[in-house]
């Protein structure tokens, strides 16, 4: 008998019919003798709908007071889901009880719309499990020390599930979604993408941070920190398939690096359209300019990703960096109004039509020439590289957004990730 956490995403919870199928799957695990905690997301489209309503009433001024209300609104999607799922389980003859984040409680900091979990009290959940009930807990939401409802950022139900699994010392956390595992790249963009049977924790962390939305990055961080056995699998398989078969399906996140030694140099390709580029032109080239520009950006609480400073000409240089697209208007205002005049720079230009494409693989640690192959592949497609950044296990480039799919497909082929054509 094991303690298992299941997480079901929005599409998996998308209708009462889908919820019934989730309940049947969970009931199967209960009947096999497992103690079950289930963490569902809001029904598909619901979080967008709720945030859309909020935007109609308050399109612009998102100060702390407004962000608090956004969380109050967005968190309701998951509350509907847990109630419906608990009802469906009861209808299957399985005793079940649902809780909102504050009832557990799942405690977070007060950073509305992107709160971080600080602790989870497992007393209540354990009491229900001991009484033979399935416990259904809202994904995505928590409560801060002052009792305000918070949410964990888009895709945050993954993190709720892994955090609950860590707090309970669960034997496994299974993330059920609308694809049957983690692929070499998003199968919606590259139909030839291949499912990985395993992926190392380090690679999964890079893939998630570089834009693969199959797992929220914080869920992977939690899994690494607390060594939570984590698997991604499909909720669209027949709920009646044998439990052993289901438990071995999908993609397992592994913590043992050795298992990967023999495998491909590049394991996957991630991409992300969420960034925008900013260039400050004609900056006087003297010590301290990076600090003057990026210090001001950091003071405005805006995260910077890639950074490039060009060689100088006649004592002046250009300085480029990327930020999240949501922060782009704010950073442009800040630079135009404060930084450019203070520095005596010429002007600032912005470009939101960029994307970042990254190759990821532990094998890159021990192979040279991997980045060069990436650059050659892109040049053969006539794609211009605007920025580059590398680490031990990834190389990322910024390119024009309109070439994103072409770049991902070409790289997928060049690094031999395509599914071999059926004989």
Q: Which is nearer to ligand ASP, 165 or 387 (CB)?
A: 165
| Site residues (CB under 6 A) for ligand ADP, limited to 150-169 | 155
Q: Which is nearer to ligand ADP, 235 or 279 (CB)?
A: 235
Q: Is 205 in the site for ligand ADP (CB under 6 A)?
A: no
Question: Distance (Å, rounded) from C-alpha 152 to C-alpha 168?
Answer: 19
Nearest position to ligand ADP, beta carbon: 9
Q: Is 14 in the site for ligand ASP (CB under 6 A)?
A: no
Question: Distance (Å, rounded) from C-alpha 331 to C-alpha 323?
Answer: 8
Single out the residue of 49, 55, 188, 402 in contact with ligand ADP (rule: CB under 6 A).
188
Question: Distance (Å, rounded) from C-alpha 33 to C-alpha 319?
Answer: 60
Closest CB 363 distance from ligand ASP, rounded Å: 31
- In angstroms, the Cα distances linking 294 to 99, 256, 318 are 43, 38, 14
Single out the residue of 113, 150, 157, 279 in contact with ligand ASP (rule: CB under 6 A).
157
Question: Distance (Å, rounded) from C-alpha 166 to C-alpha 225?
Answer: 9
Single out the residue of 116, 148, 154, 330 in contact with ligand ASP (rule: CB under 6 A).
154
What tokens does 324 get? 């999240």
| Site residues (CB under 5 A) for Mg ion, limited to 154-183 | 155
DSSP assignment letter at 214 = T
Angle between helices 217-226 and 157-168 (to 10 degrees): 10
Count residues near ligand ASP (CB under 6 A).
Answer: 13
| Site residues (CB under 6 A) for ligand ASP, limited to 55-114 | 77
CA angle, 210 then 214 then 215, to 5°? 80
Select the binding partner of residue 200 from ligand ADP, Mg ion, ligand ASP, none (C-beta < 5 to 8 A, by kind).
Answer: none
Q: Which is nearer to ligand ASP, 36 or 42 (CB)?
A: 42
Select the binding partner of residue 128 from Mg ion, ligand ADP, ligand ASP, none (C-beta < 5 to 8 A, by kind).
Answer: none
Q: Which is nearer to Mg ion, 232 or 339 (CB)?
A: 232
DSSP assignment letter at 23 = H
Which range, of 151-159, 281-289, 309-317, 331-339, touches ligand ASP by CB under 6 A? 151-159
Distance of CA 214 to the CA centre of its chain: 6
Q: Which is nearer to ligand ADP, 115 or 179 (CB)?
A: 179
Question: Distance (Å, rounded) from C-alpha 249 to C-alpha 227?
Answer: 20
Question: Distance (Å, rounded) from C-alpha 355 to C-alpha 213?
Answer: 15
Mark residues 15-44: x for contact with ligand ASP by CB under 6 A, - for none.
Answer: --------------------------xx--
Which range, of 108-116, 147-155, 280-288, 299-307, touches Mg ion by CB under 5 A? 147-155
Closest CB 306 distance from Mg ion, rounded Å: 25
Q: Is 185 in the site for ligand ADP (CB under 6 A)?
A: yes
Question: Distance (Å, rounded) from C-alpha 117 to C-alpha 161?
Answer: 11
What is the b/e burial string over 275-289, where b = at least 16 CB atoms within 10 angstroms of the residue's CB? Answer: bbbbbbbbbebeeeb
DSSP assignment letter at 109 = -
Distance of CA 252 to the CA centre of its chain: 17
Select the binding partner of residue 139 from ligand ADP, Mg ion, ligand ASP, none (C-beta < 5 to 8 A, by kind).
Answer: ligand ASP
What tokens does 364 get? 């890159």
Q: Is 300 left (phi over 0), alpha (psi -120 to 50) or beta?
A: alpha
What tokens does 182 get? 């983690």
Q: Is 116 in the site for ligand ASP (CB under 6 A)?
A: no
Which residues of the chain form contacts with ligand ASP (CB under 6 A)? 9-10, 41-42, 47, 77, 139-140, 154-158
Which residues of the chain form contacts with Mg ion (CB under 5 A)? 9, 155
Which residues of the chain form contacts with ligand ADP (CB under 6 A)? 9-12, 41, 155, 177-179, 182-183, 185-188, 212-214, 268
């Amino acid at each position: 008998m094991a303690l298992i956490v299941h997480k079901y995403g929005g599409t998996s919870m998308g209708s009462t019919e889908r919820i019934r199928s989730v309940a049947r799957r969970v009931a199967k695990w209960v009947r096999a003798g497992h103690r079950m905690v289930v963490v569902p997301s809001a029904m598909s489209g619901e979080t967008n709908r709720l945030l859309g309503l909020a935007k109609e009433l308050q399109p612009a001024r998102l100060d702390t007071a407004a962000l608090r209300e956004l969380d109050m609104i967005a968190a309701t999607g998951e509350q509907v889901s847990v109630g419906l799922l608990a009802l469906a389980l009861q209808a299957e003859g399985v005793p079940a009880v649902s809780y909102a984040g504050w009832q557990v409680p799942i405690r977070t900091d007060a950073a509305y719309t992107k709160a971080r979990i600080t602790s989870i009290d497992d007393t209540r959940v354990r009491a229900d499990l001991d009484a033979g009930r399935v416990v259904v807990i809202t994904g995505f939401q928590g409560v801060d020390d002052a009792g305000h409802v918070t949410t964990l950022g888009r895709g945050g139900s993954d993190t709720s599930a892994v955090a609950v699994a860590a707090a309970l010392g669960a034997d496994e956390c299974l993330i059920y979604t609308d694809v049957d595992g983690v692929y070499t790249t998003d199968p919606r963009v590259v139909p030839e993408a291949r499912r990985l049977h395993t992926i190392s924790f380090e690679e999964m962390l890079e893939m998630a941070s570089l834009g693969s939305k199959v797992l929220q990055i914080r869920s992977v961080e939690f899994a690494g920190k607390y060594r939570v056995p984590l698997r991604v699998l499909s909720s669209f398989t027949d709920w009646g398939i044998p439990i052993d078969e289901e438990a071995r399906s999908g993609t397992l996140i592994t913590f043992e690096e050795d298992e990967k030694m023999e495998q491909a140099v590049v394991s996957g390709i991630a991409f992300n359209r969420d960034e925008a580029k900013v260039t400050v032109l004609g900056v006087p080239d003297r010590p301290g300019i990076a600090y003057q520009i990026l210090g001001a950006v950091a003071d405005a609480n805006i995260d910077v990703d890639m950074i490039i400073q060009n060689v100088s000409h006649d004592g002046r240089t250009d300085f480029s960096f990327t930020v999240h697209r949501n922060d782009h208007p704010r950073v442009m205002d800040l630079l135009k109004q404060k930084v450019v005049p203070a520095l005596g720079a010429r002007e600032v230009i912005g470009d939101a039509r960029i994307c970042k494409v990254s190759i990821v693989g532990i094998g890159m640690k021990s192979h040279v020439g991997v980045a060069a192959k990436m650059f050659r592949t892109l040049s053969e497609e006539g794609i211009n590289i605007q920025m580059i950044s590398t680490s031990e296990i990834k190389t990322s480039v910024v390119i024009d957004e309109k070439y994103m799919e072409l770049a991902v497909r070409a790289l997928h082929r060049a690094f031999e990730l395509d599914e071999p054509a059926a004989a």
